Amino acid sequence: MTNTTPTNVTARGLSTIGTRNILGVFALATAGELQEGLEWYHRANRVAAEIASAHGISLETAAGVIAALSPNNRWERNIVDAENIIRVYSIGGAEEAMNVKVCTYGKMKDKAIQILEAPSMSHHEDILNGRKITAFYQCIIGCKDSCCIDGHAYSIWFGDRLTMKNVPNIGKRLYAEICSDYVEAAEILREAGSLNRFADLTAYEVQAITWVTWRRLHGISK
């Protein structure tokens, strides 16, 4: 398997073990995994843009609804749920949208509808009000230093596969620390690169590439 990390990465002192662990998984990515990870959030952005255009709402609003409906929801179903909520809301308002069945928690459907009713996108993150789903929203709209930390992203950073029940509660301080290490990993790869494809690498792209790679390494289907 080809090592995809530029050879001069190791010449720079790395500040944390977490950064080294992230880069170690990145180095195991196949060409296909690199491509899939690089494209994942860009595809998500295009999906949100298509939904927004079809229903006359902003990209940020569509992304907010998608993020709100994402907990414990497969991506393909997440998109179906988001489009259904937005379509019904555009026809019948909040009361009708509340009757739409979704594959996530009821309180998240409430958040999706609140986002549709919000007077401006500045309210979206306050409504989402959760580190992971807020970061997911930011990644979809393209905030380059945002990073969505789930149990797998934590395991990558930690350096060992943990079952979801063994992943600790990722509080504000720990979340910021992990995200900072993904940001640093992206910076290192950008600075090291003779590889042009990494010239604009973001933290969320590093997270997506390593997540895809981690799934293969550990036989994770979801």
DSSP code per residue over 105-173: -HHHHHHHHHHHH-SSGGGHHHHH--HHHHHHHHHHHT-TT-----HHHHHHHHTS---GGGSPP--HH
**Per-residue pLDDT, 10:** 46
Per-residue confidence (pLDDT) for residue 164, from 0 to 100: 82
Q: Nearest Cα to 144, choosing from 110, 190, 99, 112?
A: 190
> For residues 6 and 195, is the Cβ–Cβ distance under 8 A?
yes
Q: Is the pTM of this model over 0.85?
A: yes
Range of the domain at 97: 7-218
Q: What is the reported pLDDT for 14?
A: 54
The pLDDT score that the predictor gives to residue 8 is 45
Dist CA 132 CA 136 (whole Å): 6
For residue 147, how far is the Cα from the chain centroid?
6
Count Cβ atoms within 10 A of the Cβ of residue 219 and give its class: 0-12 exposed, 13-18 middle, 19 or more buried: exposed
Q: How high is the pLDDT of residue 13?
A: 55
Number of structural domains found in the chain: 1
Element (H, E) at 76: helix 75-97
- Position 196 scores a pLDDT of 64
Q: What is the pLDDT of residues 190-204, one digit of tens each?
A: 987 645 677 889 999
Cα 180 to Cα 73: distance, rounded to the nearest angstrom: 26
**1 in a domain, yes or no?**
no
**Domain assignment present for 187:** yes
Q: Is 151 among the domain residues?
A: yes
2 occurs within a structural domain = no
Does some domain include residue 61? yes
Residue segments in the chain with a per-residue pLDDT below the cut of 70? 1-14, 193-196, 222
Instruction: Tell me the pLDDT tens digit for each residue of 73-108.
Output: 999 999 999 999 999 999 999 999 999 999 999 999
The chain-wide mean pLDDT, for the chain, equals 91
pLDDT at residue 145, rounded to an integer? 86
For residues 191 and 196, give the distance between their C-alpha atoms in angstroms, rounded to a whole number. 11
